[in-house]
Amino acid sequence: MKKILFFVCAFMLVAAVALAAGPKTYQVTGPVLDIKGDVIVVQKDTDKWEVARDAATKVAGDLKVGSKVTIEYTMTAKKIEVRDDKKADAKKKK
């Protein structure tokens, strides 16, 4: 009985930590092409990535054009518009 209780508690602890972790983080690595105020432009393969930064962004080292950097970021929604699907509603009414 104690083993079962232990495993249930351990599972609950792991589940709680996983849910509290927050949004997933991603990273991009490449040379810095440009630094424009609060935006850093990084070359990733053939694409140019523009990554915004703010006062809370931690920079370790001397950030300058040409430096190879790894940027960790999270995706954050700025605006969400919900649109009703009128075609789906019409099919449901029939």
> Using one digit for the tens of pLDDT, what is the confidence trace for 11-64?
666 666 656 667 899 999 999 999 999 999 999 999 999 999 999 999 999 999
Q: What is the mean pLDDT of residues 58-80?
A: 94
Q: The tokens of 28 are what?
A: 């991009």
pLDDT at 91: 64
The CATH number given to 24-76 is 2.40.50
Using the predicted structure, report yes or no on whether residue 92 has a pLDDT greater than 70.
no
Q: In what order do the strands lie in the sheet with 39-44?
A: 47-52, 39-44, 25-36, 68-74
Strands 68-74 and 47-52: what pairing? unpaired
The model's pTM is 0.62
C-alpha pair distances (Å), 44 with each of 40, 48, 51, 71: 12, 6, 12, 11
C-alpha pair distances (Å), 10 with each of 1, 3, 18, 21, 75: 14, 10, 12, 17, 30
86 pLDDT band, cuts 50/70/90, is confident
